[in-house]
Chains A and B, each alone.
Chain A
């Protein structure tokens, strides 16, 4: 074969085609923020990946010391578990471009695997330094085996087959071997993570365990990303045919990505099972899949930091902020105000819309009260200062359910109309729509948090797609030819 290639030919004399000075000196032309912010920006650009990751891990670690406890800690744990899943899914979807919709099944398999290895169910009580690696390797191998059965499938076909696989897992755990897997009653009284005479019993300890495992997983994946394996994964995502023509065994590389994603999910499942002390089939159903994908997309598929950050943001919003009425109100009104502030220009238009909205509300409320006292008997459902601020502005009738439902239908119709009409009509329509949105929120949505939070995550994703399609930390991508 070839040995020591001779030096390259010198570039031809005369004007150089394509050797453009402007692009070459692009770095010098970058605009930074003024004063110390610019200095900080420049310094931040020089920091490598591992100091950033360590810093993020440390920031997470000091949160419990800063008074995070009880409910908030549980939210943190759930968020970290979903972040693990998103980071693993990023390998499969973000890097390799394999649309795996059965991903949560590996999470479930990891959880059930750990449960069987450390409970009275099979009367096995393994130490964690044996059971956690066993679960990791087991799910990795299972991912390989299941990937192998569908290795000729790509794209839409693979998505549907894996979706079936995810559902099959739920059915399986519900119906097969109830004496071992517990059926719908699941497995309870699972041992904590224990080893060397110690065991993790508090939520705080699981929080720290998850931070350590997440940081380690992200380090390993980050090192893989910039190796031959990571490049092969991305090449297969970009163009499988070209990748194969460039010596990359496409099927094997895809399988390896599926297995790695499965291993990460399995590990997350094991820790989740130990922390929850019990596992049920419904814990591993489609809602979790949606949350993981929402986190990955919001953070930017293809970006490791983005996947983790997106999942944390989604879970903190979903589980933390949208669980009770008072806090979800801040998010709802805050997002509306923020959107108006950013999008409405010039400022006269913004001021006009806000003033008109406020005036409209008070006028409508006064008229309604004059006609019938029962029309405003309900009052806003959000508590706190938002509730009292809106008392004389939003109309909530005594029986708000039916009115709220109709309001919701009309609101959706109006929102659809709003994006179709021209700017002037939109400006005129905006105050009544905002007022109606507030009515629907106060009358109906606040009292149905389980539905509302799904709507809100959907709305956030829609806003994200318009404002920043590549996700929080993602890179903008162009479509591949195939």
Chain B
């Protein structure tokens, strides 16, 4: 309250955002994939990123998770800069993601897929594992419990006999669910979902919309979603950010962004009558 630095410089500072991108830029050679992008995701907030193909949505995810190093600006997670850190270190800090083109471990069982994601949270050395010392046994048991817990989020779909089946044998929708379960097993604070409803039928799409809301409530996650299905975007978003050619063209509630002239133009092109 009486701290002058707070009252003086920062006007209405809400609790610090989980993730903030500060004038983030990324170039591939001469091509600017992202320019001066600002984005914030607060605690327990669901933000959707929309935009036409090639707008740079997945690139944003890749920069956040450390696949690419930004050529300008900063990525701050929980107040700490994570730009330039290796992907596994960023994941350990609490950023989990799913992939647009599914990237499971296809020849490992469903349970192993999820348990593999507990690597960063466990500490047993290989020798402890070989000799089955107490710490290794305890961690193994906890990993298994955590796996069962995140898999049970999907009800019957990834339960029981499916645990021991290889991931490649799952249906497409179940693979998407398994990817989310695997991401949850890293115990994230921020979850990045890259087109979670792609390739799903209307019933499954509806289910995924419900699920994203449940995830936020039950696990207290901040969630950043890339999605093309506007039913999902309208259903889950607290806030929507529209990108085109790596530039933020609109931000706000779903209705504001959906009606925003630049967004309409990015998706549909300029109204020919407006040109004349």
Residues of B with C-beta under 8 A to A245: 65, 87-88, 91, 96-97, 99, 103
Decide if B96 touches A238 in the complex (CB within 8 Å): no
A475 to B109: give the CA distance in the assembly, Å. 12
Over the window 11-43 of chain A, the binary record of Cβ atoms lying under 8 Å from chain B Cβ atoms (1 yes, 0 no) is 110001111000110110000000000000000
**Interface digits, A302-330 against B, CB 8 Å rule (1 contact, 0 not)?**
10000000000000000000000000000
Q: Which residues of A have CB within 8 Å of B247?
A: none
Which one, A1-9, A50-58, A452-460, is touching chain B?
A1-9
> Closest Cβ of chain B: how far from A221's Cβ, in Å?
9
Stretch at the interface among A246-254, A368-376, A404-412: A246-254
| Count of interface residues, chain A, beta-carbon cutoff 8 Å | 46
| A223 at interface, CB cutoff 8 A | yes
Complex-state Cα separation, A23 to B158, whole angstroms: 12
- B38 CB within 8 Å of chain A: no
Number of A-B contacts (CB under 8 A): 155
* A52 CA / B204 CA spacing, docked (Å): 45
Enumerate chain A residues within 8 angstroms of B139, measured Cβ to Cβ. 228
User: Which of A227, A231, A248 interacts with B120 by CB under 8 Å?
Assistant: A248
A477 at the interface (CB under 8 A from B): yes
Q: Is B157 touching A19 in the complex (CB atoms < 8 A)?
A: yes
B106, A8: Cβ atoms closer than 8 Å: no
A18 touches B149 (CB 8 A): no
Report A258 CB to chain B, min CB distance, Å. 14
The residues of B that contact A228 with a CB separation of less than 8 Å are 115, 118-119, 122, 124, 129, 139-140, 143
Give the nearest-CB partner of B186 in chain A. Answer: A247
Q: How far is the CB of A178 from chain B (nearest CB, A)?
A: 39
The verdict on A235 contacting chain B, using a C-beta distance below 8 Å, is yes
Residues of B within 8 A of A242 (CB): 99, 103-105
Determine which residue in A224, A227, A239, A246 has the highest number of CB atoms from chain B within 10 A of its CB, and name it.
A246
Q: Evaluate whether A223 and B132 lie within 8 angstroms (CB atoms) in the complex, with A9-B153, A228-B139, A234-B105 already known.
A: yes
Cα-based distance from A281 to B165 in the complex (angstroms): 47
> Could you say which of B92, B108, B130, B156 contacts A234, with CB atoms under 8 Å apart?
B108
B117 contacts partner chain A, Cβ-Cβ < 8 Å: yes
Query: Within the complex, which residue of B88, B102, B126, B168 is in contact with A229, where a contact is CB–CB below 8 Å?
Result: B126
CB distance from B26 to the nearest CB of A (A): 17
Which of B91, B105, B108, B155 has the most chain A CB atoms closer than 10 A to its own CB?
Answer: B105
A-to-B contact residues, CB < 8 Å = 1-2, 5-6, 8-12, 16-19, 23-24, 26-27, 220, 223-224, 227-229, 231-232, 234-235, 238-239, 241-250, 256, 302, 475, 477-478, 480-481
Q: A244-B88, A481-B101 are in contact. List 11 more A-B contacts (CB 8 A).
A: A1-B94, A9-B214, A9-B218, A10-B155, A231-B115, A238-B107, A238-B108, A244-B87, A246-B183, A475-B107, A480-B107
Query: Shortest 7 CB-CB distances between A and B: which pairs?
Result: A247-B120, A11-B155, A227-B129, A238-B105, A244-B87, A242-B103, A246-B117
